[in-house]
Amino acid sequence: MVLMALLLLAIFIIIMLLGIPVGYGMGALTVISFLLLGGDLSMIPQKMFSGIDTYTYVCILLYILSADIMSVGGITRAIVTFCDKLVGHVKGGLAHVNVLGSMLFAGLSGSAAADAAGLGPVEIQLMTEGGYDREFSTTVTAASAIIGPIIPPSNIMIIFAGCVGTVSVGKMFLAGAIPGILLGIAYMVLCYFISVKRNYPCRQKRASLREIARATYKTLPALFLPILIMGSIISGVCTATESSALAVAYSTVVAVCKRQLTVKSFCRACIRSAKAAANVLFIIAIATAMAWAITTLGVAQALTSFCMQYINNRILFLLFVNILLLIIGMLLDASPALLLMVPILWPVANAMGIDVIHFGVIVCFNLMVGTLTPPVGMMLFIVSNVGKVKLSVLYRSILPFCCVAIIVLMLITYIPPLTTWLPNLLMP
């Protein structure tokens, strides 16, 4: 059975290298797995349906929709302006604006792709017009985009909670706050030193208090949204799913009050969000069926036995998980990777007494770093298209940011309170 599983893994890697879309590739592999198991192919639709028949996954669509509506309301440009007033005068100011903007936009979308596609063009244009080369501008955009799925609300945290089934989405949201902020600060420090070395310009004049206040006022609706989401969850007023519906209602009211939302633009936002959510849910459905097949092949049991026999040390196991997921994250989008790897790795982590919240953040953070890592990091493909920069150029320029992200990953891996302190404090 284990040899069969390794064969399937090799086939899947070949499929990915051929450039076949992830969903189709996983679908083909799922069919092959069922045939090898001698199972009834009619079980595949059953497993797919059961994979998405989860109330929690409604959050994904609604958070994407709320971000789309906010963007229609002109919030994207307001966020960039607000960040510029705060840190634009620091050396490498527009690079800091890029990172800080992604941290704030995370509260709207919870998606790296949405961040890169939504804020990316604005940030890259702003940086290039400000005297930064396009390579660096695009690189910073790619690196900062992965912060979105770590800081709440986070789509991948929702998926992890759905996979495990024993942890609340609210706690997972809170657990990602400190790691996301740490990553943002680390990026800003790196941007500062690179900007000093390359003598990138910055705004000479510090923004006045009046200018900051004016920018804050225009950005206030966006700043209040994550507070509304997390406040409603922590207070017990709403579940995570109900808070996502609240986010849509709030975004709609804001866009209407700004007189930016029409029936036509609202319909377009709904259609875009539905398409984005459908892609995610299709991959979740396929991955669920595939994960069941892999589990049936005995991969989880074999890995548990191997780890208990040869890697019975918690420190070594977490190092093994990090290395494995960095490789997986290079090949797969975070959503299918979670659905495939969590059923395999979590039983081992649980047997070793690793906290589920701590483990979840490690997994999610790891997979996001993987999307940034050459040669096949998904985020590099997205920003390469957005910024009109060759992939070969991005491969070289992204490496310092990958190193910084891995350092932060090691910190949250081996200092559990960085992930567990806040959720245990606010949602005991």
Residue 229 included in any domain: yes
272 in a domain, yes or no? yes
Q: List the single range of 182-186, 296-300, 307-311 with lowest mean pLDDT.
A: 296-300
Classify residue 9: in a domain, yes or no. no
* pLDDT at residue 300, rounded to an integer: 61
Rounded Cα distance between 60 and 55, Å, is 10
Q: What pLDDT score does 127 carry?
A: 81
* Containing structural domain, residue 301: 41-426
Q: What is the mean pLDDT of residues 100-107?
A: 73
Tell whether 18 is covered by a domain.
no
Supply the pLDDT for residue 367: 87
Q: What is the DSSP string of 204-242?
A: SSPPPHHHHHHHHHHHHHHHHHHHHHHHHHHTTSS-HHH
Query: CA-to-CA distance for 260 and 266, rounded, in angstroms?
Result: 10
Nearest to 45 by CA among 33, 30, 24, 61: 30
Q: What is the mean pLDDT of residues 106-122?
A: 63
Distance CA 183, CA 189 (A): 10
Sort residue 201 into left (φ over 0), alpha (ψ -120 to 50) or beta. Answer: beta
pLDDT at 405 over 90: yes
Residue 54 falls within a domain, yes or no? yes
* Res. 144 pLDDT band, cuts 50 70 90: confident
pLDDT of residue 427: 82
User: What is the full DSSP assignment across 63-97?
Assistant: HHHHHHHHHHTTHHHHHHHHHHHHHTTSTTHHHHH
Residue 194 predicted with pLDDT over 70: yes
The tens digit of pLDDT for each residue in 245-259 reads 888 888 888 888 877
Q: Kindly state whether residue 247 falls inside one of the protein's structural domains.
A: yes
With respect to residue 36, please indicate whether it lies within any of the assigned structural domains.
no
The pLDDT of residue 16: 63
Identify the residue with better confidence: 297 or 30.
Answer: 30
Write down the mean pLDDT value for the chain: 79
Taking the C-alpha atoms of residue 188 and residue 90, their distance in angstroms, rounded to an integer, is 10
Domain contains 29: no
User: What tens digit of pLDDT does each residue of 304-359 get?
Assistant: 666 667 777 888 889 988 988 887 777 677 777 787 788 888 888 888 889 999 99
- Per-residue model confidence (pLDDT) at position 178: 92
Closest C-alpha among 249, 269, 211 to residue 76: 269
Token output for 47 = 């497993």
Count of structural domains, the chain? 1
Q: For residue 180, which of 205, 159, 201, 149 has the smallest C-alpha distance?
A: 149
Cis-peptide, bond into residue 375, ω within 30° of zero: yes
